[in-house]
Structure 1
Amino acid sequence: MRISLILLSLFIFCVQLCGQVLQIEYNGDPLSEEERGKIEKMFVHEAEFYSQFGLPDTLTIVHLYMFEKKEAAKIFLKSIGVTTWEKVAGLYVTAQNKIVILGAENGRKRTLSIIYHELSHHFARHIIGVHIPKWFNEGLARYFENSVITKKGVRHSLTDYEFGRIRSMYMLGEINLLEFINGLRDEFMIEEFTNEGYSYTLSHALVAFWIEELPGDMLKRFVYSLKDVDDSSTISERIDKIYSGGFKQFEKDFADFIHNDD
């Protein structure tokens, strides 16, 4: 897929993709030229990935607000009517197309990863919609969060810790993939905070499995099934329809992916 890049100024970056111009507008505390360069490369990478599912007109611009101090970010969030920010380092305000980074106290490398994460939410929410399953939305975001810009392009990694964590939970009989995939947002967050990050780890692994292990059209078919708002099927039932061997085979193949990694 051919794309063309246009750098308008130090504060706005544009990319033309599939005949549509996508933009990042920088606000808040300044980022270095090197940091902006990495953000823009990841922005292009994510735009190319999500473009296979169709680019709606609502996707045109994302406003990035980076704050060095969390208190400054809180003041800004209050000014735009957002009052929920506890336990997060960044958030995406869907209705306003705003990414807000709540302080860079943990270092700029970590800040860049959070920006990559929130950029994914920008694309996913506009392309798939607000009904996107929580685990899939966060799994996609964690996938890009755990990607880095290299001289050869973008490299993703699912860490040994994450593989080990999920293997251990399989051994203890603590993973019920059917319930997890069909679970609601509140259930996802309860599990996340009561089980030491389990929800995000498992979501990341599931998305890595979809992207890196399955044929490319499988992910596309899954996303288009999610975009079908007239389909009342559960998520596992949608997988059952499109996956060769059905949901049971999906469960087995995912377990093999987790246990067979070197």
Structure 2
Amino acid sequence: MLFLVLMLSCTFRNFNVQEKGRREDISKAIQNPDNENSRAILEKVNKYTALHKNENGLLPIEEAIEAENVEAVRLLIKVGEYPDKIYERIVNKRNIDLFNLIPQEKLDYILLSKIKENDDIELEREFLKRIEATELERLIVSGKIEEIKKKSKGWFLDNYKDDRGYVNQRKINTAEILCIYGGIDFIKEIIKILEKDIKDIKEYLLFTVSKLGKREAIKYLLGLGIDVNQKLDGGWKAIMYAAFNGHKEVCQLLIDNNSEVNAVDKDGSTALMIASEEG
């Protein structure tokens, strides 16, 4: 029995040594892109080894992003599904070649918010290009509210993309762009123009500003008499979107306005459970 334990211990130790050596090889390939063996090493990275961190706590793709090794990122980004923080890390590098490696379905409100926060005009322009932004969306981003007011109702309906979810190669819609860039005056104007055609526009804007953490916009929308406990597809309420994105003050604001904190979505999760899952 003792012999078996010792044998298993040695096997496990040897396995760890091999894995550490393999991870070190990946690091060398990332840091030395001109080495003739680098590409071959990176092409062998699979979903398992892609999750091995180096001694600094970085995944291979994170290490490649920090090194701004575009070819390494190109190879590694295809390996598996990464958390949002990986794509945010790419945005923070302000490198358009790296940015264009982000999969289309990851171009969402989280990344556009980060781009705006960074005041990165080049990536902003590229983001709008990649999602094929409408004229309305471009005017919103440019802050041209007076020009928008002059447009016809038909133009608005043509330019307002109300798709919710990943539709037609877009993971972001006009409401999200509006709430990222537009102040309350913008929101008022859009509601006034479109509320007869998009019946739940006020409710959807409440969901959107809640996940973005826009407290003043939330106060304005709640002042319109919106039901704070309205549910969107999947049974999510505004407080759940705020919890998912870690906006504690927004959660408290919604609770103060009678949001049901113990309500559950279709999977049985409450806002508190969602917040704990997201850390």
TM-score (norm: length of structure 2): 0.28
Larger radius of gyration: 2
Higher RCO structure (Cα 8 Å, ≥6 apart) = 1
More helix by share: 2
TM-score (norm: length of structure 1): 0.29
